[in-house]
Structure 1
Amino acid sequence: MCVYETGKAGQMLEVYYQVLDGQHGDLDINFKVIDPKNATLLTDYKSSENSIIMDLEMDGDYAFCMDNTYSMMNSKLVFLYVLVEDKNGVTRNDIEAKTAGSDSGDEQNDTEGDGAEPKEVLEWEGTDENGESYYLEVGKIADSLSVTLAHVVKSRHLLSIYAATKSRDSYLAFEDTFIVDVWSGIQISLMFVVGMLQVYMIKKLFSRDHLGYKDIY
């Protein structure tokens, strides 16, 4: 089974997979990452989980293939997370550096006077609780929203991984409980058979046949 994701050269690829359930078999699987030219970039053999980060070198559809043909009796449940994003995404450090640079640039423009070219800045006008007007650059608001969005995406990514790990623990607990229940059933059945056999043997021990009838004590 393969899953495809479109990527472009220069972007960063992040892949995380984890085998959640293997029924009564091992929690492992073969995993491959294949580029648009059908060349294998990475291969994991009988691995339960892995986190992969790599830079994309060409445009096209990348394939993420999972193979379980070596386990004919047991199917596998796999959690797969694929994220393709630009390497030059907006980060907190970039915003702080950009803000500091713009502030220093404003001071430099003030000192240079008419030597600097005027720059058009789009501002948002607001009113504080005292009724006084204030202005905020729309660019800074957009940068703050971009940082917030990046944190939300990262939080969603971490929550997905946590949910997968929790699901895996649930499947493992269910598997262990199933094994305990099976062994308990076998032992109870064996104890019942042995008990019935003992009753039968004791009954035969105290029974005797004579004169055409059976006396039982």
Structure 2
Amino acid sequence: MFFRWTLVVPVLMRVVQALLSLLAGVTTALELDLTVDIPPGKFQCFFQPVDVNKHKTMEIDYQVVDGGDLNINFVLLLESNKLYEDILKTDGTHRVNLQVGGDYQICFDNSFSYQSRKIVFFEIFLLDEKGEADERDVLKVGVGDGNANLETLGIPIAGFFDATNRIKSQLNKVEYYQAVLRAHEARDRAVMTANFDRVTLWSCIHTIVMISVGVLQVFLLRSLFEDNSKVGSLLRKGKIGYRF
């Protein structure tokens, strides 16, 4: 029994090391998502460096989740060239075919607002020629010690690579849709809170007006039946005299 375990344990350790070496580079994904606060009257930009040797497409998604009328101006710049511009939009998606490398500017303009800050959620995806967001392909990551270890153990690595690529692609999609759903949920919550505050304010105003009108009506009706009431006497006469 001891002899069997002395053989099995090293084999298991080699399998674990091979799997870790294969998966070590899979987590390097060129995805960026941020939630930023744009103060009123401000124009803020965020820079994303791009290497056209690695990346062929850049996708930008943005959404205003809170603040004012939930709109903002969006500008995508490369040096002094304006690539895309949105005016007073709640959300937007832009896909750029990368021909020139450099620092791309993702700008949000809230200069038209004097008192409302804007909370903006945006995502940046840098994709290769296959449309994948990972900087390194798992097939290339598997070349090395991990590949040799799996071959030595007689494990078919082709199927493992295919399964890992499929899992990676599905996880990227899940992460993207989760981020979009979070942004939608945050915006819906902000709209609901704003509507609740507006309804509460006008309900209080209407209640105060109704109570004031009711008190005034009671006062006027009582004055009609009181002989010594000046207001009642004026109402009974049907006119109000002014003395200067």
TM-score (norm 2): 0.63
Superposition deviation, residue 207 in structure 1: 2.2
Rounded Cα–Cα distance in structure 2 between residues aligned with 1:7 and 1:208: 90
Where relative contact order (Cα < 8 A, 6+ residues apart) is larger, the structure is 2
Superposition deviation, residue 144 in structure 1: 2.6
The code of the aligned residue for 2:80 comes to: N
User: Quick one: which of 124, 128, 141 aligns to 2:150?
Assistant: 124
Rounded Cα–Cα distance in structure 1 between residues aligned with 2:98 and 2:51: 7
- Written as runs of structure 1 = structure 2, the 5 A alignment for 1:1-217 is 1-9=44-52, 10-23=55-68, 26-35=69-78, 37-88=79-130, 122=148, 124=150, 135-209=154-228
Rounded Cα–Cα distance in structure 2 between residues aligned with 1:175 and 1:57: 43
Spell out, residue by residue over 1:118-145, the C-alpha distance to the aligned partner (whole angstroms, 9 max, x if none). xxx846269xxxxxxx833335423432
Spell out, residue by residue over 1:93-132, the C-alpha distance to the aligned partner (whole angstroms, 9 max, x if none). xx9xx9xxxxxxxxxxxxxxxxxxxxxx846269xxxxxx
Asked if structure 1 preserves the Cα contact closer than 8 Å seen for 2:57 and 2:131, the reply is no
SS of 1:156 mapped into structure 2: helix
Compute the RMSD of aligned alpha carbons: 2.7
SS of 1:208 mapped into structure 2: coil
In the alignment, structure 2 segments of 5+ residues that lack a partner are 1-43, 140-146, 230-244
Deviates more, 1:47-56 or 1:196-205: 196-205
Asked if structure 2 preserves the Cα contact closer than 8 Å seen for 1:29 and 1:48, the reply is yes
Superposition deviation, residue 13 in structure 1: 0.4
Equivalenced residue count is 173
Asked if structure 2 preserves the Cα contact closer than 8 Å seen for 1:90 and 1:147, the reply is no
Q: What percentage of residue pairs aligned between the two structures are identical?
A: 26
Rounded Cα–Cα distance in structure 2 between residues aligned with 1:41 and 1:123: 48
Asked if structure 2 preserves the Cα contact closer than 8 Å seen for 1:122 and 1:139, the reply is no
CA shift in 2, pair 1:122/1:89, >3 Å? farther
In the alignment, structure 1 segments of 5+ residues that lack a partner are 99-120, 127-133, 211-217
Matched residue, 2:13: none
The code of the aligned residue for 1:22 comes to: G
Rounded Cα–Cα distance in structure 2 between residues aligned with 1:52 and 1:145: 29
Superposition deviation, residue 49 in structure 1: 1.1
Asked if structure 2 preserves the Cα contact closer than 8 Å seen for 1:123 and 1:137, the reply is no
Superposition deviation, residue 157 in structure 1: 0.8
Rounded Cα–Cα distance in structure 2 between residues aligned with 1:38 and 1:138: 48
TM-score (norm 1): 0.70
The code of the aligned residue for 1:12 comes to: T
